[in-house]
Structure 1
Amino acid sequence: MRNRKIMFVSPNQVETVEETFTAQTLGENEVLVQLIYSLISPGTELAMLAGTEWWAKLPLNPGYASVSRIIEAGAGVKDVQVGDAVFHYGSHSEYQVLEVKDVVLKVPDGLDLRWVPFTRMATVAFTSVRVSNIELGDKVSVSGLGLVGNLAAQLARLQGATVIGVDLSQERLKTARVCGVDYALDGSSGKVKEELMALTNGQGVSSHIEATGISKVAVDSLEYIGSQGEIILLGSPRGEYNTDITEVLNYCHLYNRGCITFKGAHEWRYPTEPNQFVKHSLVRNSKIVFELMQQNRLQIEPLISHVIKPEQASEAYAGLRNNKDQYNGVLFDWA
């Protein structure tokens, strides 16, 4: 078989290549799949493409979230079968062999296959809500309304909060409003703190979800948070930022409102499979996301900005890097 795949050849150089895919004898719990759609994760993949991630040595075949069709299954595979459409974590490669013990889940009948790869972004966002103290009636702010931030804002609303989103991009603010976020504030206005305090009657928010991954934004966001509040680090911090850490810690511990809690919300804090010792898992969260999509309680369609061919990969990554107002949810259509 001829296999197409996307390669990060060197920093900021993307190529779509073809190679011969040699079918192998599958292990008992393996499946061979053919991609239908795969989704770019802008934060993680652009960092990989820049060559700044120590764990992602170039050249490499990137990827994050996909929906595929099973074309062959090992003898021990039980929960899925040949012909099923499945959601999985995987690379931008047309043919792949997957271990079913990883996240390989049958897609519910009738679910739009273009939406399915966004399940991964939603489960990443889910972690911020899982670790939080968000309750019905709370005021919550989210900085950064890209895919993960937008979905975190939607999930916080489903938790019962009034959500205030903050972003520099007018397009992302517009998309957030379409997705039901209660308030969308322009981060470039210079009036975010003033506007946010007005919306919270001068109290500040009880929870702030930081989804940009920019350390300075996280520190600046502390002044939005009320007494006994929390800041949840959803976006992985990247890039150097120099500040007086004692001043930051004293602000959280003593000054102004005080007693602000920092929480990390990386997706891998939870196990892949459910077990009797931990309530939440990646599989459980993924299945809940399927249900929310089916019920139209989680808005995915407004997040899709482009559906393009794998041969346009270089254009897609350049757009995500240089034109963030127009490029957001970019799907590769492998059909």
Structure 2
Amino acid sequence: MNRQIVFTAPWQVEVRKEAVPDRPLVGREALVRKLYTLISPGTELACLSGGESWFRMPGIPGYAAVSRIEAVGPEARGFAAGDIVFHYGNHSEYEIVKAEGVFLKVPDGLELPLVPFTRMATVAMTSLRVSTIELGDHVAVTGLGLIGNMAAQLAGLQGATVIGVDLSENRRRLAEACGISHTVAGGEGAAERVKAIAEGGVGTLIEATGVPQVAVESVSWIRQYGELILLGSPRGRYETDVTDLLNSVHLNGRGCITFKGAHEWRFPVEEDPFVKHSLVRNSKVVFGLLKSGRLRVEPLISHILAPEEAAAAYDGLKNRKDEYQGVLFKWV
């Protein structure tokens, strides 16, 4: 049977069973069986809330998987049954997908529970790809969930002194376990603490919470000619007078700060000789970082659960954020 995690209505999660797909595969299709899938907390909780118009209920969430190929179509060259692959798979045990784009063989020696984190790391990597971060810069990251934590790690690998900012003491502790240079409690007094570490202000601020108020209020942490990078997708309503914010961009004496969007889909999927970055190339880079241990994921894994525990997993990510961080479903 094909087990599937289904969002049936806002805040309603079920595990359903259907027959395993049994039709002939065509073209570059592949039938895969999931080994591990990873919950993306921000996106999937937004979907579960009913707040994402593109996600229709009932629907199967998820987009990060490591799987074993069961069968391939006649044009799926380079792949065979038994291959272990990373791809953008959902939370179902079996799935027919295209063996193209980000559908990559997993390097030998890379631990399988780490592989789905490649998706979150490439999301985080977008903030570095669009930035001007150089060796010796100060960088602040607001929000130390999975993506913010990995953005902070990647900024450190790029040579920056990194300051991770989060309200949660547990997330700050995890960031320190992952090698983040400095952590600061969010909220009152955060600006002063960040500026003290950064010698007056950071050159780059990566906003990973997706909370508009955090983005607006953290602009004052950025030094003149610095940049604010919107990594987390802004969600929720926030009303304010934007004149001061716009002057931080416009006026030389107030900052000349640059705002940049860092959504992962700004880059092409496939490698292209005329474009340096792509989702495929970024994924391969992450494979190397994970395998070498330079990108640390193990401290972020809080739970490895059976699919039948899905309702508890999403409840934990929503209501017990200090206990639930990186949550994997183990399918086999």
TM-score by length of 2: 0.98
- Structure 2 residue 235 is matched with structure 1 residue 260: no
- Counterparts of 1:318-333 in structure 2 under 5 Å? 318-333=315-330
For structure 2, list consecutive stretches of 5 or more residues without a partner in the other structure: none
Report the counterpart of residue 83 of structure 2 in structure 1: 84
Report the counterpart of residue 223 of structure 1 in structure 2: 220
Report the counterpart of residue 196 of structure 2 in structure 1: 198
What's the secondary structure of 2:68's corresponding residue?
strand
Report the counterpart of residue 17 of structure 1 in structure 2: 16
Letter in 2 for 1:280: H
What's the secondary structure of 1:8's corresponding residue?
strand
- Looking at structure 2, the residues matched to 11 and 253 of structure 1 have their Cα atoms a distance apart, in angstroms, of 42
Residue 250 of structure 1: how far off its partner (Å): 1.2
Letter in 1 for 2:235: R
Tell me: CA distance 1:23–1:63, structure 2 relative to 1, closer, same or farther (3 Å): same
Report the counterpart of residue 288 of structure 1 in structure 2: 285
Residue 103 of structure 1: how far off its partner (Å): 1.2
Report the counterpart of residue 32 of structure 1 in structure 2: 31
- Looking at structure 1, the residues matched to 72 and 294 of structure 2 have their Cα atoms a distance apart, in angstroms, of 33
Q: Is the 8 A contact 2:21 2:95 kept in 1?
A: no
Q: How many residues align?
A: 332
Tell me: CA distance 1:255–1:276, structure 2 relative to 1, closer, same or farther (3 Å): closer
- Looking at structure 1, the residues matched to 278 and 21 of structure 2 have their Cα atoms a distance apart, in angstroms, of 34
Identity percentage of aligned residues: 58
- Looking at structure 1, the residues matched to 196 and 86 of structure 2 have their Cα atoms a distance apart, in angstroms, of 42
For structure 1, list consecutive stretches of 5 or more residues without a partner in the other structure: none
- Counterparts of 1:62-211 in structure 2 under 5 Å? 62-188=61-187, 190-202=188-200, 204-211=201-208
Letter in 1 for 2:172: L
Report the counterpart of residue 243 of structure 1 in structure 2: 240
TM-score by length of 1: 0.97
- Looking at structure 2, the residues matched to 77 and 291 of structure 1 have their Cα atoms a distance apart, in angstroms, of 25
What's the secondary structure of 1:292's corresponding residue?
helix
Deviates further, 192-201 or 311-320: 192-201
What's the secondary structure of 2:24's corresponding residue?
coil
- Looking at structure 2, the residues matched to 76 and 43 of structure 1 have their Cα atoms a distance apart, in angstroms, of 36
- 1:245-274 CA-to-partner distances (Å, cap 9, x unmatched) read 222101332276420000000000001101
- Looking at structure 1, the residues matched to 25 and 41 of structure 2 have their Cα atoms a distance apart, in angstroms, of 32
Residue 299 of structure 1: how far off its partner (Å): 0.2
Q: Is the 8 A contact 2:4 2:15 kept in 1?
A: yes
- Looking at structure 2, the residues matched to 35 and 296 of structure 1 have their Cα atoms a distance apart, in angstroms, of 24
Letter in 1 for 2:149: N
Report the counterpart of residue 45 of structure 1 in structure 2: 44
Q: Is the 8 A contact 1:80 1:105 kept in 2?
A: no
